[in-house]
Amino acid sequence: MPDATAPPPPAFRRAVASLSSTRPRPELLVSALGAPPRLAPYTWAFSVEADAGAGRAGEPLDDLDEPDTSGRLILLHDPAGQDAWEGVFRLVCFVQARLEPEQLGDEMFPVVGWSWLTEALEHNGAGYTALGGTVTQTSSVRFGDIAGPRRDDDVELRASWTPTDTNLAAHAEAFCQLVASAAGLPPVGAVSLVHRTV
């Protein structure tokens, strides 16, 4: 265990600074997050929330009581390295998104969900190794006094990978792109004709 009074290693500080430098698209709300301390000697995390309807018709982005899509990215650092990581850094992500009715029961949907991550990493030039994870479709039905819709159908993506560079800005950009894809947001610069005013 590292000395709690000692400053984090320079490599970890540089990695955190590069993750913090990302400037996400306006539909995404990024917040610092407490990272689980027992996963590695040094940890850091942030969360991203998105709502496909946020920012339209004057809706404030900070009014996301229950966002359609949310995720968190956790940075792990072990200066001694870990065999399973194939390196000294590891990125762990979790994303949860609400499914559309037409997506329910689609056996290919987990493949599509996984492609959101791999395409985001490749599009942003985020080099990685030892990538693994799961995509899970869940369905829950509410009863009694629990507020909200009676039924929720969600997709959850959990993944981890080892970055091949300590500059992690591209990985933060890729993660934000993953959350945007899961939320169904159009590509940056595209105009949604459904909400266009004339």
Residue 190 lies in a domain: no
Range of the domain at 86: 10-53+65-185
Residue 192 lies in a domain: no
How does residue 52 score in pLDDT terms, banded at 50, 70 and 90? Answer: low
How does residue 195 score in pLDDT terms, banded at 50, 70 and 90? Answer: very low
Asked if residue 55 has pLDDT above 60, the reply is: no
pTM: 0.81
Residue 81 lies in a domain: yes
Residue 58 lies in a domain: no
pLDDT at 139: 74
Residue 198 lies in a domain: no
The three state secondary structure string of 83-101 is: CCCCEEEEEEEEEEEECCH
pLDDT one-digit tens code per residue, 102-154: 555 666 778 988 999 999 999 999 999 999 999 988 777 777 776 666 666 88
pLDDT at 42: 95
Q: State the DSSP string of the chain.
A: ---TTSPPPHHHHHHHHHHHT----TTEEEEEEPPPTTSSSEEEEEEEEE-TTTTSTT--TT--SS-SEEEEEEEEEEEEEETTTTEEEEEEEEEEEEPPGGGTT-TTHHHHHHHHHHHHHHHTT--EEEEEEEEEEEEEE--TT--S-SEEEEEEEEEEEEESSS--HHHHHHHHHHHHHHHTPPPTT---GGG---
Query: pLDDT over 90 for what percent of the chain?
Result: 54
- Give the angle 19-60-168 at the CA atoms, nearest 5°: 5
Contacts of 196 (CB under 8 A, 6+ apart): none
Residue 3 lies in a domain: no
pLDDT one-digit tens code per residue, 162-186: 999 989 999 999 999 999 999 988 8
Counted domains in the chain: 1
Residue 194 lies in a domain: no
Asked if residue 88 has pLDDT above 60, the reply is: yes
pLDDT one-digit tens code per residue, 65-79: 556 799 999 999 999
